[in-house]
């Protein structure tokens, strides 16, 4: 198409109709893409409804001994620390911050939201492995009240159903734990 336009413009000025004719002949179509937020899973609507019901009923559930927790990771975050502490603001004076900062590098934030209370628990580390996900989950267990049931909402990342996480959840929920029965990913995900 570029060659046709180049050759045509060398010969004479191009009219609007000629330009449209060249574009029509090229038969350009926009690239096909699928937007990632629209799931094509057959049970998507039912799953979405179940998750919404968890949120809507989280306060009622917590009064019955059932706690709803959402967990997600944010990877590749550049963390900045101030070299010097920011002085407290004074009335009538602008806030003054130092321009220098310390950059400890890229970190992974694993955050948990306790839905009925709005409490946020987090873990900041250098990597996102199965052990990295189990450690903040253990921290969540220590800080949250003892409940008879926990509903953890996570995405499909494989660190969420690792053997370490299954071991921790078995201890948390007082379930029998047999590592030999959880050798495959599907078995751990179902557990």
> What DSSP string runs through 48-66?
HHHHHHHHHTHHHHHHTTE
Domains and CATH numbers, the chain: 66-82+101-191 (3.30.420.10)
Q: 3-state DSSP helix/strand/coil percent for the chain, to nearest 5?
A: 40, 25, 35
Q: How far apart are CA 29 and CA 93, in angstroms?
A: 58
Q: Low-confidence residues of the chain, pLDDT below 70?
A: 1-13, 28-31, 33-39
Give the CA distances from residue 97 to residues 77, 86, 103, in Å, rounded to whole numbers and listed in that order: 22, 5, 16
Identify whether the C-beta of residue 177 lies closer than 8 Å to the C-beta of residue 170: yes
What are 174-184's pLDDT values in tens digits?
Answer: 889 999 999 99
Q: What is the pTM of this model?
A: 0.63
| Residue 74 DSSP class | E
Q: How far apart are CA 127 and CA 133, in angstroms?
A: 9
């Amino acid at each position: 198409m570029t060659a046709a336009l180049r050759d045509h413009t060398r010969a004479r000025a191009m009219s609007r109709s000629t330009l449209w004719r060249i574009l029509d002949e090229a038969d350009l179509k926009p690239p096909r893409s699928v937007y990632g937020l629209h799931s094509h899973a057959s049970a998507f609507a039912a799953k979405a409804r179940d998750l919404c019901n968890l949120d809507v009923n989280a306060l009622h559930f917590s009064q019955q001994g059932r706690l709803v927790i959402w967990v997600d990771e944010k990877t590749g975050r550049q963390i900045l620390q101030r070299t010097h502490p920011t002085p407290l603001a004074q009335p009538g004076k602008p806030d003054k911050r130092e321009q220098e900062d310390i950059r400890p590098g890229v970190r992974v934030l694993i955050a948990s939201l306790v839905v009925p209370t709005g409490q946020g628990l987090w873990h900041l580390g250098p990597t996102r492995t199965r052990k990295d996900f189990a450690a903040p989950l253990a921290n969540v267990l220590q800080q949250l009240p003892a409940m008879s049931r926990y509903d953890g909402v996570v995405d499909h990342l494989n660190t969420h159903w690792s053997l370490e996480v299954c071991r921790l959840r078995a201890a948390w929920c007082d379930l029998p734990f047999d590592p030999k029965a959880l050798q495959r990913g599907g078995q751990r995900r179902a557990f």
